[in-house]
Structure 1
Amino acid sequence: MTLHEPARFFANLLVPTSDPVGLRGRLAEHLGRHARCETTETGEVLLSSELGLSRLTLEAGGLRIAAESGDPTGLAYIKMIMADHVLELGEAGLALHWTGAGASGSPLPFFRAMTVTGVATVGRFRRLTLRGDDLGRFAEGGLHVRLLLPGEGVRQRWPVTGDDGRPFWPDGNPPPARVYTLRRLDVAAGEVEIDMLLHASHHDAPGAAFAERARPGDVVGMTGPGGGDLPEATDYLLFADETGLPAVVRMLAEMPAGRRVRAFVEIEDEDDRQALPSVAAAEVTWLYRRDGARLETAAASIGAGDLPPGTVVWGGMEHAARRAVFRRAVDVWGLPRDRLRLASYWRRGQAGTDHHHDD
Structure 2
Amino acid sequence: MELIWRSISEPEPGPKWAGLFAELWPAYKTWWMREGVDARPTYWQSWSAIKTHMPEILPLYEQLCDLAGGGDLAARFLSFYRPPPYLSGCSQAIWPGKEPMLVRNYDYNPEAFERVVLQTRWQGRNVIGSSDGLWGLVDGMNDAGLAVSLTFGGRRVVGDGFGVPLILRYVLQTCTTAEQAGRALARIPTHMSYNVTVLDAKRNYLTAFMAPDRPTSITHAAVATNHQEKVEWDAHARMTASVERERFLLQRLTGHIEPQEKFISAFLRPPLYSIAFDRGFGTLYTAVYRPRLGKMELRWPRGTWPLDLYGGADDVRRIYTPETKPTAANGTGPDSAQQNAQF
TM norm. shorter chain > 0.5:
no
Higher percent of residues as helix: 2
Higher percent of residues as strand: 1
Greater RCO (Cα-Cα under 8 Å, separation 6 or more):
2
TM-score scaled by length of structure 2: 0.30
Asked which structure has the greater CA Rg, the reply is 1
TM-score scaled by length of structure 1: 0.29
